[in-house]
Amino acid sequence: MQFKKLNRDGAENVFRTVLNVEGATITTGRAVSIKPTGVSNDGISAVIANAAADYPGFVGIATQDIANNDYGLIQTSGFVQSVYLSQEVGSLTVNAGDPMVPSGLGGFASAAPTYANSGFKYVIAASNIPLVMSAATFASGLIKML
């Protein structure tokens, strides 16, 4: 793990390394989950959190593109510059401070976050948020992990 201490230039952030076993590139801003391999969990194999079975294993957001079968850095806590917001059915409004949880397509949504199912791990929308989201887009966020 890597820790960025509080300073006058930014917030405290925590990062960790994962091994991409998705079968495709995990791109910057995508929700990442630790994935069991076979019958056990090695604590490093990761996938895009793009299915309901992946959500409980949510550990952070990719800070860089991570090629399949390669190691890369994800952010597990703190302020994130690039968070992928998934398109949901229809248009919805996302405001600064809205909680977002992993959703289909490997991003985040806030249409109706289910906190009980999130394990209290989610992202709070921060800035650069579109006025009305009718297509997938990016914003910044704050990862809240308990």
**pLDDT of the residue at 109:** 74
pLDDT of 66: 98
- Total structural domains within the chain: 1
Per-residue pLDDT, averaged over 72-92, amounts to 80
Amino acid at 146: L
Q: What is the pTM of this model?
A: 0.79
Q: Does the pLDDT value for residue 40 go beyond 80?
A: no
Task: Check if the beta carbon of residue 44 is closer than 8 Å to that of residue 17.
Answer: yes
The pLDDT of residue 145: 67
Q: What is the dihedral of CA 67, 107, 102, 94, to 10 degrees?
A: 150
Query: Residue 94 above 80 pLDDT?
Result: no
* Residue ranges with strand state E in 35-146: 45-48, 58-62, 71-85, 99-102, 108-109, 122-125, 137-144
Q: 106 or 19: which carries more pLDDT confidence?
A: 19
DSSP tag of 118:
H
Which pLDDT does position 26 carry in this prediction? 96
- Cα separation, 73 vs 28, in Å, equals 10
> For residue 48, what are the domain limits?
2-144
**Percentage of the chain modeled with pLDDT above 90:** 26
CATH number where 16 lies: 2.40.300
